Amino acid sequence: MRIKARPIVEGRAEGEALISKNPISFYGGVDPKTGVVREKGHPLEGVSIAGKILAFPYGKGSTVGSYIILALAKNNVAPKAIINLESEPIIIVGCILANVPLVDKPEKNIFDIIKNGDYVRIIAKKDNAYILISRGNTREELSGTR
């Protein structure tokens, strides 16, 4: 399946999807050394975002969150890419600093389509972006989409 989105930070990434229907606060909510979500009561509490295609509606919290995203990248525990319903400045700046591909405003509700463990490829170019999805942790359905 292919879903159009708005490109925010250009790049390409692919990997296993990690989904949260709840917003994420990177400052205080994610350990910058391990990439593990530590916000009490968050659905992803105790889960690592490292190397995942991370999808969540929007960011929340302090502007320091941008620097936490950068620290995640410096510690090699950042997500490979981020998908938001609507990105806000904290996430945008963090992804720019960390060079993490970022897309938002997908044309379809990604929470109805992408499930944890699905194999996802993000292609974000200056003028367009696509989210490509394969059920389960497999690349088979994405062949020929590079």
Tens of pLDDT, residues 59-70:
999 999 999 999
Is this structure's pTM higher than 0.75?
yes
pLDDT at 142 (0 to 100): 60
State the average pLDDT for the chain: 95
pLDDT at 141 over 90: no
Q: Which of 20, 62, 87, 143 is catalytic?
A: 62
pLDDT at 146 over 50: no
Q: 3-class DSSP state for residue 113?
A: helix
Helices (H), 47-126: 65-74, 89-98, 110-113
List phi, psi (to 5°) of 21: -80, -5
pLDDT at 119 over 90: yes
pLDDT at 24 over 70: yes
pLDDT at 135 (0 to 100): 79
Instruction: Please say if 25 is a catalytic residue.
Output: no
Residues 71-95: pLDDT tens digits? 999 999 999 999 999 999 999 999 9
Q: Whose CA is closest to 32, among 57, 7, 68? A: 68
- Asked if residue 16 lies in contact with residue 119, where contact means CB atoms within 8 angstroms, the answer is yes
β-sheet bridge partners, residue 17: 53
pLDDT at 1 over 70: yes
Number of helices followed by number of strands (H, E) in the chain: 3, 7
- What is the CATH code of the structural domain delimited by 2-142? 3.50.30.10
Q: How far apart are CA 3 and CA 31, in angstroms?
A: 31
pLDDT at 145 over 80: no
Domain boundaries, the chain: 2-142
